[in-house]
Amino acid sequence: MIDPFGRTITYLRVSVTDRCDFRCVYCMAEEMTFLPKSELLTLEELDRVCSAFVRLGVRKLRLTGGEPLVRRDIMTLFRSLGRHLATGALDELTLTTNGSQLARYAAQLRECGVGRINVSLDTLDPAKFTEITRRGRLDVVLEGLKAAKAAGLAVKVNTVALRGVNEDEFDDLVAWTGEQGFDLVFIEVMPMGDIGGENRLEQYLPLSLVRARLQRRWTLEETDYRTGGPARYVNVRETGRRLGFITPLTHNFCESCNRVRMTCTGTLYMCLGQEDAADLRTPLRQSEGDAALEAAIREAIDRKPKGHDFIIDRRHNRPSVSRHMSVTGG
């Protein structure tokens, strides 16, 4: 699949649920209204759509949420999709998680062929962790990370840089992930969805500033390493681990975009920062065959835009995209 700008689409991120057991202050409002479960694709339908994408050339699948591991019987989907790894049709099956369920599922994920995972973790302070997530417990996530490590899963920690909240911990996070053998990626706040009383302008911290501060203590060495995602990496000489930066606001990473995202209702977004979308649920359910589904996917790829329009609306303090990250697939 090649989009209008010559980019080959090889990476699909799939939200399997909009539900989450956390309410992170930069992601959701504290009181969320979730989709009726009847609107969600079944696990069998999710498998069918993902398999269609694999046939069309997708080599990497990432399951996301909300929190993907709170979806009932989710390991059924991981086991089923694992068959594409066995045949060589798929290079990687992975997920992004908040870590709350990892202690329970880490070993099973490894058995399904998952080799590495992304875990969202914004602080190592227990009280601050509960404040940011509004209901999470740091000790539970740390136990999950321990289980992931024991299962042989490679771990990348994703940390959202929040002005005045966790910016005093960045050196500690680099040191800790180095000790644990984890990679670390810092992410700028993304202006998506109404998050209640929180002000994104107050949360926003440019990663150019973060990197400059880190360089006072750490030796950051340039590298050509890429994972297929938007992060730009350096090596930290002192720890021997990779450090990544995802900068949707200070540096547009669209020129090499190879990915699309599908929601748990079968809506395909060709760009995270644009509202144009394609309905895949209708062709999926109208026929037992996949010809109409594959045609809808190809038509959608033909509409993929050149880039996103992420901005923080400073005048009205509103998101540039109205849907929540948890709906699109974080």
Element (H, E) at 212: helix 207-214
Measure Cα distances from 175 to 132, 241, 297 in Å.
21, 10, 43
In a domain, residue 177? The reply is: yes
Q: What is the pLDDT of residue 309?
A: 56
Q: How many domains does the chain have?
A: 1
Report yes or no on 136 lying in a domain: yes
Q: What is the CATH number of the domain that holds 59?
A: 3.20.20.70
Does residue 5 lie in a domain region? no
CA gyration radius, the chain: 19
Does residue 252 carry a pLDDT above 80? Answer: no
Instruction: Establish if 4 belongs to a structural domain.
Output: no
Q: Which percentage of the chain shows pLDDT scores above 90?
A: 72
In a domain, 242, yes or no: yes
Report helix, strand or coil for 118: strand
**Residue 309 lies in domain:** 11-328
Query: H or E segment at 154?
Result: strand 154-160
Evaluate whether residue 6 is within a structural domain.
Answer: no
Q: Report pLDDT for 191.
A: 60
Residue 143 is assigned to a structural domain of this protein: yes
Per-residue confidence (pLDDT) for residue 124, from 0 to 100: 98
Predicted pLDDT of residue 274:
75
Could you tell me if residue 3 is inside a domain? no
**Which residues are CB-contacts of 249 (< 8 A; sequence separation ≥ 6)?**
188, 189, 190, 191, 204, 206, 310, 311, 312
